[in-house]
Each structure stands twice: as C-alpha cells, then as structure tokens.
Amino acid sequence: MNFLKENWFKLVIFLVILLIATVAGYIYVKKTISWKIYNSKEYGFELQYPANYEFHLGQGSNEPMFYIKNPARDIVYDSYYSHYAFELKITPGFLHPGVMSNPDEWASNQERLGTKLNEQIIDGKKVYVSDFKSTGNEIKMYSMFINKGNGFDMYQFYVKNNDVGEQILSTFKSVN
C-alpha cells in the first residue's frame, strides 16, 4: 500500500503515455490499411497511397512519371511539379561512365551549382533531399539512384509540403 501512495503519480504518467501510444498506433495502422498499393514490375518499385487519392501514370520522352493526386486539394495545370501530393519521375541511365559515374559526383556537382542537399535513407538507399518553391508551393525533391549495372537510374520524388507525400514516400520499396 505504501508503494502506491509513493508512486501514484508515476503510475498515472505511465498509463497516460501507454494510452497515447496505443491511440497513435491505432490511427497509423488504420490509415495505412485503407491505402492502395501500386506495384510496377517494369520499373522495379512499389508504393502505397491513400485509397481516396488518385493515381496517374504519365510518359515524358522516355521518362515515366507517376502522380498521386489529392482530389480534394490538388489543382492540375499543364506544368511540371508541385500540383500533386506526390510525383515520381524516373530517368533511366541518368548516370553512366562518360557523363557522371556515381551519385556522389552528381551531388557534388549540384552543390557547386548552389543547391543545398541533405542526405536521408529510404528503402536502405541514400537519397539527396533539396527544398524549393514551384508556383507558390513548398516542395521537397528527393533524388535516389538505383544501380542497374551499366549505370544508375535516377528516381526523383517531388513531395508537396502539408500533405501525405512524406508518408507515401516512406512506403517506397525497390522490387526486382
């Protein structure tokens, strides 16, 4: 009985923390359970996105593009970037001997040109992150390079701030 009198406050704090963690876990699991999965065997990746969002596939001069649109907020213009919650552009063979041979060389070149890059790990791979504005939207661009043997394909992810783009990106997986 003496133990409870002396430690009641600690017990209450522990129970409140446990309740918050349980509710947060439930909300996260519930959100991702109602997500759809897009799997591209052709381009070797998989990602998840909210079931109420729209997935679009585009094609630009041998560079496939994947868009995930928030139908409640996103406005589509005839322009690149920033009009979707999440965009992925793949440039096959972007880095190869004779041009730039590796991602670190590319990053050094970007920094010489004035782009501030941060590094992050996604799907076990180093990703270079930069911030910019496009048509009034705050955007984060993530550049990932996947080695294809004779060079690197560049995967550029454009994530609009204040939406679920970061969560979508966290579900990205390379599949071969």
User: 55 and 133 share a domain?
Assistant: yes
User: 16 and 50 share a domain?
Assistant: no
| CATH code for the domain in which residue 164 is found | 3.40.1000
User: 91 and 170 share a domain?
Assistant: yes
- Smallest CA-to-CA distance from 169 within 145, 143, 147 is with 143
User: 128 and 91 share a domain?
Assistant: yes
- Tens of pLDDT along the chain (176 residues) come to 576 677 777 777 877 787 787 776 666 555 556 899 999 988 889 999 999 998 888 766 667 888 888 877 766 554 444 467 888 999 888 888 777 888 999 999 999 999 999 999 999 999 999 987 666 667 889 999 998 888 899 999 988 876 788 899 999 998 86
User: 58 and 127 share a domain?
Assistant: yes
Phi, psi of 158 (to 5 degrees): -110, 120
Global pTM exceeds 0.75: no
